[in-house]
Structures are given as C-alpha cells and as structure tokens.
Structure 1
Amino acid sequence: MREFRLDELDAERAANNGAYLQFLRSRTMSAGLYALDAGALDTQQPHRQDEIYFVVSGRGALTVGAETTHVARGSVVYVPAGVPHKFHHISEDLRVLVVFSPPESA
C-alpha cells in the first residue's frame, strides 16, 4: 500500500516549479496532481491514454472535444485517449487529481 497527502503533493509540485507532479506509476496506471491557478492557460495536448480528472479544489471550465462543462470541487470527468481537451475560464485555483490508464508516457 502507498498513501499520499494532497497538501504534501501540492507542496512538492510547487517546489519543482511545475504544473504537474506524477506521484504514482505502476504497470497499468499512473496518477498525478495538476495545478492551474486562476486565469492560467492550459497548454496540454491530447494524451495517448484514457484519463480521469477528479477536481480536488477550484473552479473553471473544461472542454473535451466539442463538449464543455463547468468543473468545481468534486467534479469527475473522463477523457478518452486522443481527444483534445483544455481547462479554461479558471476562476479559482484548480487542483486536479489525474489518473491515466495505461500509464502516461515518460
């Protein structure tokens, strides 16, 4: 078993000056913490893996393909592999738990 604390993961992510911190990688999945501050631009490109976003805190919008939804704490969104997607209109700092399957490419 491995246990993680979101506050510690966010501090480690910030200390490494990055928006994303991968904190778990196994043979079948990987997980990370993605952070976008209010007003930030999401520059990510489509991934080769399916992914699930779980919004831990914050508010914004997420467009996946041609669909847009508003997200806030507790939102869970599935993004199929290869589909363009972006967070935008971020009104409160977003902290998002991301799970990739299979694991995100290194």
Structure 2
Amino acid sequence: MMDHQLFHLDALAAEQDAAGRRYLEFLRTDTMSGGVYTLAAGAEDPQLPHREDELYVVLAGAGVLRVGEAELPVRAGSVAFVAAQAVHRFHDITEDLRVLVLFAPAESDG
C-alpha cells in the first residue's frame, strides 16, 4: 500500500450516491478503515455493534446517536467516539445524515 492517499468528500459522496449504497468504504489498511455512511431523514439505522472502536464525524444532517443509554444529539460538525462492542445507532434523524466513519483496527466482516 502507498504511504499516503488523498480523498475528496464531494467525490466520495458522488460515488456513494451513484452506487446507491448506505455505506461506502474508501480506505482499508491493517490498522484502520474508513467509509461514508448515509441515512435519510426518518430512516431506521440497522447497524449492530462492531468489534472495532469507531469515530463518527457528521458531515451533514441532524439526528440523535444512542450509545447504550446515552442520547447524543448530532449535527454537521459533531464528532462522536463509540467503543468496540457498544450498542449504538442513529435515530430521530431530522435531516439526511452523511457521516464519515473511521474504524480502528480495520472493520471486520463479522
């Protein structure tokens, strides 16, 4: 793998939208992975806990991130950390969400 890569969020969003995918992974190394996750206003977030630590950077939209019993209102500019295995999901999405997601180590398949 190269020792650097450059990504443009507008190009990633266009690729994701063209593919019609809720999640688009754009980076994978041994130690981390990154993707863009979208949920429409009013959508239900189907995700389950992950084996990896996760960092969410909200690029656009608004909603609430539930982590365990905590309710975290998020909007463009919010950054949230979720520990591995924590039960979490977005809900009460009032504006279409587009979220940059970083996993460490790289997200596993199961």
TM-score, length basis structure 2: 0.93
Task: Give, in angstroms, the shift of residue 58 of structure 1.
Answer: 0.6
- Give the CA RMSD over aligned residues: 0.8
Matched, 1:79 2:78: no
Counterpart for residue 99 of structure 1: 102
Aligned partners of 1:88, 1:23: CA distance in 2, in Å? 25
Unaligned 5+ segments in structure 2 are: none
TM-score, length basis structure 1: 0.96
Counterpart for residue 33 of structure 2: 30
Q: List structure 1 runs of 4+ shifted beyond 4 angstroms.
A: none
Question: Which letter maps to 1:82?
Answer: Q
Aligned partners of 1:64, 1:42: CA distance in 2, in Å? 13
Unaligned 5+ segments in structure 1 are: none
How big is each residue's C-alpha offset from its partner over 1:52-87, in whole Å with a ceiling of 9 and x where there is no partner?
A: 000011100000011011000111110000011010
How big is each residue's C-alpha offset from its partner over 1:23-61, in whole Å with a ceiling of 9 and x where there is no partner?
A: 000110000000011111100000000000000111000
Question: Which letter maps to 2:44?
Answer: L
Q: How many residues align?
A: 106
